[in-house]
Amino acid sequence: MNDRIIFHLAIPINDVAKAKIYYVDGLGCSVGRENDRAVIFQFYGHQVVAHMTKEPLTPQQGIYPRHFGLIFPEEKYWSELLARAKQKGLAFYQEPKLRFPNQLTEHKTFFLVDPFENLMEFKYYRHSEAIFAGREVVEIGDR
């Protein structure tokens, strides 16, 4: 084990095979352990565990309050995943856009929705200090 802290997230699914197609073929993740009830994905260095559920998986009424995703350190990585998502025909919940132009918090973003109604946001901030800093800016998300 390395000394880097790794983020862990559990998400609901209702089909392990379909989850593997989406996350491996679609997003480029690799598979860790798996069984008939769950599968672990290496999600760009982080652990996403997809657990089977019998609960109905229904679409959210918007991106808030629940979604997850990645912030890329370089714009080229954001652009590469965007191109891959389009090439693989992944479903966009929100098309790519530029948010808060000419502000400290300016960033490019797009949202995908997986086959289980999990929303994912992928971002690139023009000013990396805006990821956590910029406390004088009160905007977080959409109003």
- Are 26 and 43 contacting, i.e. CB atoms less than 8 angstroms apart? no
Q: What does the pLDDT read at residue 3?
A: 84
Predicted pLDDT of residue 110? 98
**pLDDT tens figures, 52-61:** 999 999 999 9
For range 74-103, the mean pLDDT: 97
Sign of CA dihedral 11, 29, 117, 70: positive
52: three-class secondary structure by DSSP: strand
For residues 58 and 12, give the distance between their C-alpha atoms in angstroms, rounded to a whole number. Answer: 11
Q: Report the pLDDT value the prediction gives residue 1, as an integer from 0 to 100.
A: 57
* pLDDT for 135 beyond 80: no
CA gap 69, 6 in Å, rounded: 14
What's the pLDDT at 65? 85
What does the pLDDT read at residue 130?
87
Closest Cα to residue 131, out of 106, 114, 113, 110? 106
Please report the DSSP string for 93-123 in residue order.
EEEEEEESTTSTT-EEEEEEE-TTS-EEEEE
